[in-house]
Chains A and B, each alone.
Chain A
Amino acid sequence: MRRYVVRRLLLLVPVLLGVSVIIFMVLHLAPGDPAEIMLGSQATQADLNRLRAELGLTEPLYVQYIHWLGLVARGDLGRSIWMKRPVLTEVLGRFKATLVLTGAALVLSTAGGLALGILSAVRPNSLLDRLSAVASLFGASMPVFWLGIVLMVIFALWLGWLPASGMFAPYGGGDLRDLLAHLALPAVTLAAASVTIIARLTRSTMLETLGQDYIRTARAKGVVERAVVLRHGLKNALIPIVTVVGVQAGYLLGGAVLTETVFAWPGVGTLMVQGILARDFPLVQGCVLVVALSFVVINLIVDLLYAWLDPRIRYE
């Protein structure tokens, strides 16, 4: 097992290298460069040439890439072209906020999705099941920015219960209560689509599992229904659910970009968007590396969870 984990972690290196090459190429293939955007519509060709040279953009692409790689090897992601800040501290600082938001959304969507899915599976075609199907369709088809704004108007503007944006109150605040109040709307918004996907999948796998012979045996033995559903049913249905939750974790991490923008959440998503618009290559590279790294780690965790859930699965 330990060897497996080490091997998987070593595999990170080629994965991250590949990701960085692709991002580097894509960013440089897109028309426009940081000099163009910094200078804006007032730019003259002479100014552009001068700034490009200063930024090292006149070097051949592979030289620029190798130069960047050299920095990374020394644990330095460079300085943002645009913001003049060291990329590493900037990205890590912002990534914390994204983790908080994504984590909260993942907890909400997993808990909500499991509960809805189990209840629907226990009573298929009941009113609750049908309502949950309609809600799922709604949740899955609402764009994040629309849902976020609707929730903001209701809970912040009309009811005045929750703050509309940011992570902490602009002045004072800063404690857990302040954080939770600011987290509520974005976390619910971000979780909305995932909760329905997890619910629908839980429902179908649970229905299948609950139809198995060993469930009938358990019931025949006189096991209480709650234990039948949760211990005998759910635990055996969990493998596909964990897979989907893992995929959703990745999706939430990526999907956080829009939610962060709507609610002015100071996460890595908003930073990445700014970076892309400014063609701030070191900054975008740094953001993508961190996000890619967390994707890979999530996948690893999901794989390890399989073995824990199903003792028949072994990694060697």
Chain B
Amino acid sequence: MRAGAVVRALLVAIVGLLGPAIPVSAQPAGTLVVGLVAEPVNLDPAQVTDLNSNRVGRRIAETLVTFPDESTQVVPGLAESWTISKDGLRYTFKLRRGITFHDGTPFNADAVKFSIERQIDPEHPANKLGKYPFANYFFGNVKAVETVDPATVEFVLKEPRASFLTILTAAAASIVSPAAVKKLGADYALQPVGTGPFKYASWDRGQRVVLEKNPSYWRYPVKVDRVVYRPIVEGQARLTELLTGSLDLIVDVPPDFVAQVEQSPKATLLKQVGAHVWYLGINNQKKPFDDKRVRQALNYAVNKEAIVRDVLKGTGSLSRGPVLPATWGADAGLKPYPYEPERARKLLAEAGYPSGFSTTLWVPESGSGMQSPVPMSTVIQSNLKAVGIPVALQTMEWGAYLAKLRTKEQELFALSWMAGNEDPDMVMYPLLHSSQWTPNGPNRALYKNERFDELLHQARLTTDQGKRAALYREAQRILVDDPPWIFIDHEIQTAAHAKRVQGLKLHPSFDLRVETISLK
């Protein structure tokens, strides 16, 4: 029985090898292991456009102004103070002194100038080292970046724009080490150097990105020694790894698992409404949607509570407009459209459609910030059918979907916007100002309301926040009366962590600030 003996020996060997591996080992004391939904694409803050890359990259490089840990109000970052000229065209920043990049070179006005100009000046020596997708969106209005002295830098704008400080909180405005960019060239995107709480350590493709703590971080001593980020696409796998102790923290708990995590003694669920809006766009220029009564009817017809409760399992907050509730620009008096199908039918009849009409709804299968697009749209489809509007649902892959929306042939379409900050200008202007009609901008609803346009324009020229808020509140009231979309929800982001993780709060900007964590 030679063969039998060999097989037996093999089995024993396999069991012997596997056996001791069975207790899944815990991490070393100071190491935090984080499960991300996808692998970071690259880590140059000016070259990435996705959330996962930014959640890692923002640990490494920082911005002149930033958000505190619990809100999206602008506070000093690498700049300790700033002044804005009367005409709103010059922003002068006093930089903090004594800060060095992870490579030991000093942070100063030249570094600020370099970080921004490499993106916007085609003649800049570092411009060809990368592609800067948001350069124009964020910095198209910047005429010049001038260094006054090593600790003072001045941004000169082409025209006043009150949200410019908020723009400087964007990842693309991160200050990078010019020495590192010059040394690494195009590879800078793979091993970035900044001033942040963690520095880049290693990257095993498809497996993990490792950051080590910056022992001389200027803001405070970082308590975690090392962060390991692992990409795990499958929700069940992420959850299993958390519950078995191989991960300390996971983001984006799928709605169906929320209840399970809440009941687990091993994990803590975190929730935080994010600066995001999910909407069902309406082509305002196409019949019958050019009649605002029809658009109002659509808003009355859709049961948002049911979508948030049953599809999103509570991971959404009802939307009453594009602006995030409870922020300085929001109108606290606004109420979400109630679910009143009777009223919807009445409005449709008044608009001349007593027996409804049929239409199509375009939906992406997935996409950044899209939550659960297909199930959400299916509920909307059945709600609209109930008031006499049969809807044909067409699902598309994200890339194809974006291309299709450029055709202006859409009737209804599902889309979301992740501003990542609370400035109303950064959500209302691009999505709803008539100068931003697709394909020139992201106004894919082709919305146009003259008074609304005027209010938004005025607000851009006004630097006083109180006065801006008043203009935005009026603009939001217009959107309720003359709705551009069906308002659905603002995403409540979720994360879950092991009990040994202390002190983490989710940030409304969707950032994941692991530097605030201490490990028990």
Do A50 and B136 form a contact, CB below 8 Å, given A94-B205, A176-B17? yes
- B207/A84 in contact, CB under 8 A: no
- Is B403 an interface residue when CB atoms closer than 8 A count as contact? yes
- A40/B402 in contact, CB under 8 A: yes
**CB within 8 A of A271: which of B206, B238, B430?**
B206
- Is B291 an interface residue when CB atoms closer than 8 A count as contact? no
Residues of A within 8 A of B24 (CB): 160, 163, 169
How long is the Cα–Cα vector from A93 to B206 in the complex, in angstroms?
10
- Is A38 an interface residue when CB atoms closer than 8 A count as contact? yes
Do A262 and B237 form a contact, CB below 8 Å, given A45-B440, A172-B25, A173-B25? yes
- A279/B399 in contact, CB under 8 A: yes
Question: Which A228-280 residues sit within 8 Å CB-CB of chain B?
Answer: 261-267, 270-271, 274, 277-279
Interface residue tally on B, bucketed by range: 35 or more
- Is B503 an interface residue when CB atoms closer than 8 A count as contact? no
Do A266 and B205 form a contact, CB below 8 Å, given A36-B403, A45-B440? yes
- A83/B42 in contact, CB under 8 A: yes
Question: Which A84-99 residues sit within 8 Å CB-CB of chain B?
Answer: 84-85, 90, 93-94, 97
How long is the Cα–Cα vector from A32 to B403 in the complex, in angstroms?
5
Residues of B within 8 A of A46 (CB): 136, 440
Residues of B within 8 A of A266 (CB): 204-207
Residues of B within 8 A of A45 (CB): 406, 439-440
Question: Which B17-54 residues sit within 8 Å CB-CB of chain A?
Answer: 17-18, 20-25, 27-28, 31, 33, 38-39, 41-42, 44, 47, 49
Question: Which B401-419 residues sit within 8 Å CB-CB of chain A?
Answer: 401-404, 406, 415-417
How long is the Cα–Cα vector from A81 to B186 in the complex, in angstroms?
12
- A156/B205 in contact, CB under 8 A: no
Residue of A nearest to B188 (CB): A84
Return B230 CB to nearest CB of chain A, in Å. 6
Residues of A within 8 A of B22 (CB): 160-162, 181
- Is A78 an interface residue when CB atoms closer than 8 A count as contact? no
- Is A149 an interface residue when CB atoms closer than 8 A count as contact? yes
| Interface residue stretch chosen among B70-78, B148-156, B158-166, B239-247 | B239-247
- Is A220 an interface residue when CB atoms closer than 8 A count as contact? no
Interface centre among A35, A54, A171 (most CB of B within 10 A): A171
- Is B393 an interface residue when CB atoms closer than 8 A count as contact? no
Residues of B within 8 A of A33 (CB): 399, 403
Interface residue tally on A, bucketed by range: 35 or more
A51-90 to B contact mask, C-beta < 8 Å, 1/0: 1001100000000000000000000000101111100001
A17-52 to B contact mask, C-beta < 8 Å, 1/0: 000000000000011110111111111111110110
Do A170 and B228 form a contact, CB below 8 Å, given A31-B403, A94-B205? yes
B311-329 to A contact mask, C-beta < 8 Å, 1/0: 0000000000000000000
Do A41 and B402 form a contact, CB below 8 Å, given A51-B131, A165-B241, A177-B21? yes
- A84/B186 in contact, CB under 8 A: yes
How long is the Cα–Cα vector from A35 to B399 in the complex, in angstroms?
10
- B417/A164 in contact, CB under 8 A: no
- B442/A55 in contact, CB under 8 A: no
Return B282 CB to nearest CB of chain A, in Å. 16
Return A23 CB to nearest CB of chain B, in Å. 16
- A171/B33 in contact, CB under 8 A: yes
Residues of B within 8 A of A165 (CB): 230, 232, 234, 237-238, 240-241
Do A171 and B228 form a contact, CB below 8 Å, given A47-B137, A161-B22? yes
How long is the Cα–Cα vector from A222 to B22 in the complex, in angstroms?
48
- Is A178 an interface residue when CB atoms closer than 8 A count as contact? yes
**CB within 8 A of A166: which of B133, B187, B207?**
B207
How long is the Cα–Cα vector from A13 to B24 in the complex, in angstroms?
47
Residues of A within 8 A of B247 (CB): 170
Which 6 residue pairs of A and B lie closest in terms of their CB atoms, listed nearest first? A266-B206, A32-B399, A181-B21, A164-B240, A45-B439, A31-B400
Q: Which residues of A are interface residues toward B (Cβ below 8 A)? A: 30-33, 35-48, 50-51, 54-55, 79, 81-85, 90, 93-94, 97, 145, 149, 152-153, 156-157, 160-173, 176-178, 180-181, 184, 261-267, 270-271, 274, 277-279
13 A-B pairs in the complex with CB atoms less than 8 angstroms apart: A30-B399, A38-B49, A41-B415, A81-B131, A152-B240, A163-B244, A170-B246, A171-B31, A172-B25, A173-B25, A263-B237, A270-B206, A279-B399
Task: List 17 additional contacts besides A165-B230, A262-B234; criterion CB under 8 Å.
Answer: A32-B400, A36-B402, A36-B403, A38-B131, A41-B417, A45-B440, A90-B205, A153-B240, A163-B241, A164-B246, A166-B230, A168-B207, A180-B18, A266-B205, A266-B207, A277-B398, A277-B399
